Structure 1
Amino acid sequence: MSFLGIDLGTTGSRVAAYDADGHELAARSQRTAVVRPAHGRAEIDADAVRAAVVRLVGEIVADPAVIADPVEALSFSTLGEAIVPVGPDGAALGPAPLSMDQRGAASAEKLAAALGDEHVQRLTGQPLHPMFSVHKIRELLPGGALPAAVRTIDDHVAGWFGAAPAIDLTMAARTGAYDVGAGRWSDEILGALDVPAALLSEPVPAGTVIGAVTADAAAATGLRPGTPLVAGVHDQAAAFLGGGGRAGERSVFSFGSSDCLTVGTSARPSRLLGTGLATYPVGPDLWVTLAGTAAGGWALDWFASLVHHDRVDPWASLFDLTSTPPPALLVLPYLAGSGTLDNDPRARGALLGLTLETTTAQVARAFVEASGYELAKIRAALAERGIAGTDVYAAGGGSANPSALQARADAAGLRLRAVTKEASTRGAALLAAAGVGVHDGIGALPAPPVLHDARPEPEYAAWYTRQRETFGSLYPLLRTVNDSFTALEEIA
């Protein structure tokens, strides 16, 4: 038997089949176009994503390895915060705004005035922030009109396959409107924002069977009619599950469009109020806490597009850091707002230390090192709040580059073990297997093997200790400058 994991990411969709032990049998992917129709806007076409997934599933099901090992269930890993306005027939009425889309700012300010930041975080487990989808519901359609319903991307795609409208607990939390303690939509938050609860799907635990593949979907994809559809999870939770995360033992640092450290605990952490740290339940005895930088991979792509715009794969050259020693440079990677700890959507990126002798290779290394410095900053903040450090497994695209992983380990002063590059897809497939009883819950999923082990180089330990200290001072130092830039834009 095999299981399909469908990873619905910000920049692309990936579908892969895995056996019950988490070994990949076949995979296909397609990029997603991110549209920026105006300043502060960033959207994707949910129907285009769905069409891509249907095609990719068909290709996977027709792969000889999957024909020999047929699909028994499928589940999802989903980009956070994006929501789709739909009509009564479930058809999308417009594009889905992404987390970096800024149209929720006024709604977030309204909620802060009504309930206060800490009370919202106490209810939802998430810091009050305009990226959360509840703040964009009244901005989805022209004139503030409300759709018949709003769906997360996986809810929208799963509905085409035959699932009933459903949202798992992790994605419910990422709307910013779910009361994680009470286990229901928050009347206080929805009431303050005048958003009807009827627009939102029913919250269910991850791994719940939410439907079965219809005859029409089977005809279009080659899946067996009646194949179980299993509720998925937020992509960072999926990466945690697929990357071998275990509460109190192993954390997963995922290098994707965003860099994110996901740490598991057996219960809700109690000292996160007033911070930018987000936490939510995944299942029984597992909560995960998230912290990272919104523009981790985006920042590298941005820099690569400036200096290597004609190259298909800049990682093969620009980010091969083998022969580049640590530079006396620092990058603040806040190209889409600050990291989790400062939680400032107005923060901006910065490159400091430039001289006439600075090279492109040095700047490339500084961009990579930035995620290591941010990781060290996050780990220190978690430790201060009673969340002990654990081994860190590295997953995602950035983990596949040994020289870049080494630079990050040096910058963080922390051992990083690279595992599967595609942890989110693997996690979704294993969740599908758990949903139909192949594994005894999410705490029993098989961990992936370690592919590369990066330990901090003793030669540079003092250097990086100094750099980490300086990095920690940059955000408060540059806040006045960032506020000035924001004021200039508002004048313009």
Structure 2
Amino acid sequence: MSLLGLDLGTSGVRAVAVDQDGHELAGAARSTSLARPGPGLVETDTEEVLAASLAVLAEVAAHPAVLADPPEALSFSVQGEAVVPVGADGVALAPAPVSMDRRGTDLAARVAAELGAGTVQRITGQPANPMFSVYKLFGWPSAAGYRCLGDYIAGRLGARPAIDTSMAARTGAYDVDAGTWSSFILAAAGVDEGRLPEVVAPGTVVGKLTMSIPGLPDGLPLVAGAHDQAAAYLGGGGRAGVSSVVSFGSSDCLTVGTASRPRDLVGTGLATYPMGPGTWLTLAGTAAGGWALDWFAKLVGGDPDELFERAAPEPPRVLVLPYFTGSGTLDNDPLARGAVVGLDLGTGREELARAFLESFGFEIRKIVTALGERDIDPGAVHAVGGGARSTRSLAIRASASGRPLTPVRENASARGAALLAGVGLGLYASIDALPAPSAGPALTPDPATTDWYAAQARRFRDLYPTLTPHDRSYTETREQP
């Protein structure tokens, strides 16, 4: 018996097959594109995502290891916040605005003003922010329904309209304590609850495969998956009270598990949602992540992997604020912008490359401090995603963060989705009983740089509020669609 996981990411789609012990048998990936049709607008083509999904699933199904161990179920890891308006036939009416799309800025501000930002966060577990799906739906008042990307693709494959609790929370319209769509949020946003899907627990069977995919049997169980950060947490070995997972991808995110909902998050950008009885996940990070690294690599030219592998051997006297698509979680400011300070005529690309890597370590340090103030212990930190595959890059981040980072170099999000498929089949008793991934030795902070990075982290913390007035002057008019 093997299990399939389909990771619907912001920049591409990946499928993996794992055996019952969670070991990867085969994997395949396809890139997808983002369109920017106007200021503040960023969209993904759902038909391109569907075609890429069918291609990678067929490629994995044709692998000899999978032919010898046929798949028994399929589940999903889903980029957060992307939302799809659909017609009565369940087909998309338009491209899907993704997380970094800012068309919902005005509506999010109006809802927060009407209900109170604290009330919004108490109900939904998420801060009031235009990234969330509910604030982007006003453009399609006649749509028959609204879907997030995972339940949309699952529906095209044969599932009923159903969304898991983590993705429901990432719409910004779900009451995480009551376990229902929030009538208060929906009324304030002008959204009809009847157009939203049923909410189910991650790992719930929601249908059977009816679309023909070479190598996959008709009737293959389709299982509700989870938000990609939740899937990465499960696939990367996260366990409440024991280990957390930091995902270095298009965006960077630290995900920490607790046995119950943390109660002191209102007023911060920290987000939380339920994954089932006895497990809540709290998320913090920066939306820029790999996007900022890619921007820098394109700006200076050369191969991105080689560029960061050849980063300066010593900490530079340069500081990067990586808020290229808004601030990190704690400040929760969509109008914040990136900055580089400390430049002089001797600054080279190697120093800047290291400073970009360090910036995400400083963000982790800032987040861990905030969690500690709320008695949330991340435990051991496992690192997953593309940024965890480079020992050198991860070592730089570990030193800047002041914490050991343990690399898990498997495809954590897709692996987590595949393991949720096993939960749907009853193969694992719960998400706390999933097989652990293979992990490498931890990268520990360099003691020779401890004092420097502690001081640099303080400068990093102080830089955002210093620049905020200037950010406003650059962004308040440009962000309007």
Category of TM-score, reference length = shorter chain: over 0.9
Identical amino acids, percent of aligned pairs:
56
* Count of matched residue positions in the alignment of Structure 1 and Structure 2: 481
Aligned to 2:386: 397
CA distance in 2, matches of 1:489, 1:121: 27
Partner of 1:318, secondary structure, is helix
Q: Does structure 1 retain, via aligned residues, the 8 Å contact 2:311–2:351? A: no
Counterpart CA distance in 1 for 2:480 and 2:12 is: 36
Measured in 2, the distance between the counterparts of 1:44 and 1:412 equals: 33
- What's the CA shift string for 1:418-471, capped at 9, x where partnerless? 013411000000110111011111000111121242100111111111111111
Q: Name the structure 1 match of 2:178.
A: 182
Amino acid at match of 1:194: G
The aligned residue for residue 193 of structure 2 is 197
Please say which of residues 478-487 and 276-285 is displaced more in the overlay: 478-487
Whether the aligned pair in 2 keeps the contact of 1:155 and 1:166 (CA below 8 Å) is yes
Note if contact 2:410-2:438 (Cα within 8 Å) is conserved in structure 1.
no
* 1:264 has 2:264 as partner: no
Q: Look up the SS of the partner of 2:358 in the other structure.
A: helix
Does the 8 Å contact 1:121/1:128 carry over to 2? yes
Contact 1:55 1:221 in 2 (8 A): no
- When normalised by structure 2's length, the TM-score is 0.98
* Structure 2 counterparts to residues 22-41 of structure 1, below 5 A: 22-41=22-41
SS in 1 for 2:3: strand
The aligned runs of 1:268-287 (5 Å cut-off) are 268-287=261-280
Distance 1:96 1:488, change over 3 A: closer
CA-CA distance at 1:324 after TM superposition? 2.2
Amino acid at match of 2:117: D
Q: Which residue of 2 aligns with 1:72?
A: 72
Q: Where does residue 94 of structure 2 map in the other structure?
A: 94
5 Å-filtered alignment, 1:107-256, equals 107-139=107-139, 141=140, 145-214=141-210, 217=211, 219-256=212-249
Code of the aligned partner of 1:201: P
* Partner secondary structure for residue 37 of structure 2: coil
Deviations 1:134-155 (A, max 9, x none): 000112x4xxx33110111111
Instruction: Give yes or no for contact 1:41–1:102 (8 Å, CA) kept in 2.
Output: yes
Give the counterpart letter for 1:262 in structure 2: T
1:314 maps onto 2:312 in alignment: no
Deviating more after overlay: 338-347 vs 57-66: 57-66
Is the CA contact (8 Å cut-off) linking 2:13 and 2:53 kept in structure 1?
yes
Structure 2: gaps (5+ residues):
none
Cα distance in 1 between the residues matched to 2:393 and 2:336: 25
Question: Within 2, Cα distance between the matches of 1:406 and 1:166?
Answer: 41
Aligned to 1:36, what secondary structure does the other structure show?
strand
| Whole-angstrom distance in 2 between the partners of 1:129 and 1:57 | 34
Is contact 2:410-2:437 (8 Å) kept? no
Distance in 2 of aligned mates of 1:137 and 1:421: 35
Structure 1 unaligned spans of 5+: none
Is the 2:76–2:417 contact (alpha carbons within 8 Å) kept by the matching residues of 1? yes
Shift in Å, 1:487:
4.6
- Work out the CA distance in 1 between the residues paired with 2:310 and 2:255: 26
- Amino acid corresponding to residue 114 of structure 2 in structure 1: A
Report the CA distance between 1:323 and its aligned residue.
5.4
Q: CA RMSD in A?
A: 1.4
Q: 1:324-359: per-residue Cα shift (whole Å, max 9, x none)?
A: 211011000000000000000000000011010001
* Per-residue CA distance 1:14-58 (angstroms, 9 max, x = gap): 011111111111111000101101110000001110111112111
Which of 285-294 and 153-162 deviates more?
A: 153-162
- Per the normalisation by structure 1, the TM-score is 0.96
SS at match of 1:35: strand
Counterpart CA distance in 2 for 1:183 and 1:453 is 38
Match of 1:434 among 423, 442, 464: 423
Q: Is the 8 A contact 1:271 1:386 kept in 2?
A: no
- Inter-partner Cα distance in structure 2 for 1:451 and 1:331: 29
